[in-house]
Amino acid sequence: MIYNTPFITSLNCAGEVHLLVGTQSLGSTISRVKAVIASGAQAKVVNMCSENDFKKIQEHFYGDERVCVFLKPFALQDLTTLGRQFVGGIVDKVFVNLPQEEALLMQDIFKQCLKLRIPINTSQRPEMSTFSPLSTYSDPEKSGLQIAVTTNGQGCLLANRIKREIVARLPSNISKAVTNMGQLRDRIINEDHTELITTYHQNSDLQELGYGVDEDVWDSQKLNKLVYEFSMTEKEQKLKRTRWLSQIMQYYPLSTLADVSIDQLADSYRSEYAEKNASSSKQSSAQPDHKARGDTSEENTPAVPAVAVSKDDVLKISNEKGRIALVGSGPGSISMLTLGALHEIKTADLVLADKLVPEEVLQLIPSGTETFIARKFPGNAERAQNELLEKGLAGLKDGKRVVRLKQGDPYIFGRGGEEYLFFSQHGFEPEVLPGLSSALTSTVVSKIPATQRDVADQVLICTGTGRKGALPDIPEFVSTRTTVFLMALHRSSVLIEALLSKGWDPEVPAAIIERASCPDQRITRTSLKYVPEVVEEIGSRPPGLLVVGRSVTALLSEEKVRFNDTRKFYIEEGYHYDQHNVALTKLASAYHI
């Protein structure tokens, strides 16, 4: 049996004429009329079940020119005479609400609508419908937010309940958040690249950054595409604030979006940041080429800024109350947060968080705790890192308990070593709390045994993006190795080309793991040679990583992981650990120091 997935859309009905036939359920008819006129269409009602229904609808919409009520039986010619003159009198949509004994009339209406290509919904009769209205929440504050849920006929009551559950979990300021993001986006688009706005339908850059109306398919794999921080093109400069805002929408907690201001975007950086980094850029550009080829490990990342700190200064600072902890928050799920990390989060005065730390972890931060989320957006990594270091140092000098909250583990491509040296040289030796690294937890939640007898006897963790965006040194292919590439999906085509050119097996299994251990986790299995095509097709759901090796398919049936040119990938959605997570969330919320 083939299951057809309905194509759900948000329709622009302004100026249309919608015909409502019958009042079997008067309450439903009145609700439908309200929805029709709220969409900007005109409602015309015929075939009253009783004269009393006619009177009640007239009374309810008295004086509203958008509602026309006819005390007459339905005739097929109504379909082609009651509509707009612009379309030859054909109505735009039809809603049928007749008693079941009128089944023959329903069938006649349905067939005629099919011939005329008029969308039709017949109440309680999905077999006589070409569309179904969804259980919808529309933001009463008019922000534009709508949430629609459907079970496709499996239970209208259930759809309504699911909708209520979703709405109840939204932050209280969601209306302001949606409005604020829209206003900022429009302002930035018009201020930074007005000349592009008139042709944005042809401008792939704007579409990739979320400017447009195709919200159902927007999952751009280019959201985190490489931008060279100190050598941006003119177009990249024009798109900078738009790119930053897109990153904020993608990563920041929903509750914080209402208060994001234009000053928090790219142009708000103090000139000293730019001057400092421009200087360091000139110095690094003078280094031999081999220095720019490495990954983001400590030996290849920018050196910690040189500081002159006297012994007396160190002793003086050490006697103050300020202390700092570099804390790993794990891959995303609260169930993978250590008790030590929870203690630090709950007792901090200042939390400096990576943008990749999931919202459910950030929600554990007490409401009164000062929190800053890193602005490490494409083309701004070094400036953002300096900003974090300076904020942390300022907090320490004020005697605060500072927590540098990092996604995964601080020392696995997280600049933890650099930060340790920086704060130590300023007289504050950090306490470092390990976190579960996404490099290994992602394999577990994806049913990938990183090592298994006769399958894989070693694990290698690499970066896909080295310093200044260069590729790392490509390791040799080992058939019994599981290789994990972090920060690689946004440039998968370049990486895979380099791997294949160095002799990697194009047929070796690969897994694209995104949002590991989060509710919207996605695991896509494929073959190495297909990875760039797959990323292009499915888009991106950062943070993500790439796992390559025979272990990727070791626990799955062969039929699921047999890939070829007609079936290039297999996707599994969601991370289902709800009961455990709910219990841990309650424990974390009740946590007392």
- The packing angle between helices 174-192 and 240-251, to 10°, is 160
Query: Which residue is associated with the tokens 């160095």?
Result: 502
CA 107 from chain centre, in angstroms, equals 43
Active site residue 354: yes
Burial 522-552 (b: 16+ CB within 10 A, else e): bbbbbbbbbbbbbbeebbbbbbbbbbbbbbb
Instruction: Taking the CA atoms of 17, 18, 19 and 20 in sequence, report the sign of the dihedral they define.
Output: negative
Instruction: Dump the DSSP string for 32-95.
Output: HHHHHHHTT-EEEEE--SSHHHHHHHHHHTTT-TTEEE--S---TTHHHHSS-GGGTT--SEEE
Q: Quick one: CA dihedral 300, 301, 302, 306, positive or negative?
A: negative
Q: Which residue among the candidates 354, 355, 468, 529 is catalytic per the annotation?
A: 354
Torsion angle (degrees, nearest 10) of CA 572, 574, 579, 584: 120
Q: Please check whether residue 477 is in contact with residue 510, taking contact to mean a CB–CB distance below 8 angstroms.
A: no
> Residue 574: what residue type?
G
Contact 220, 208 (CB under 8 A): yes
Report whether 135 contacts 156 (CB < 8 A). yes
The conformation of residue 335, written as its DSSP 8-state character, comes to G
Catalytic entry in 44, 240, 355, 376:
376
**Nearby residues of 215 by Cβ (< 8 Å), 6 or more positions away:** 10
Counting runs of H as helices and runs of E as strands, what totals does the chain give?
Answer: 20, 18
Which residues, including other chains, have CB under 8 Å from residue 473's CB and lie 6 or more apart? 293, 294, 295
548 closest CA partner among 536, 560, 530, 565: 530
- Burial classification of residue 303, based on how many CB atoms lie within 10 Å of its CB (0-12 exposed, 13-18 middle, 19 or more buried): exposed
Rounded Cα gap, residues 382 and 229, in angstroms: 8
**SS3 category, 19:** strand
**Contact yes or no for 530/569 (Cβ under 8 A):** yes
Instruction: Provide the annotated active-site residues.
Output: 354, 376
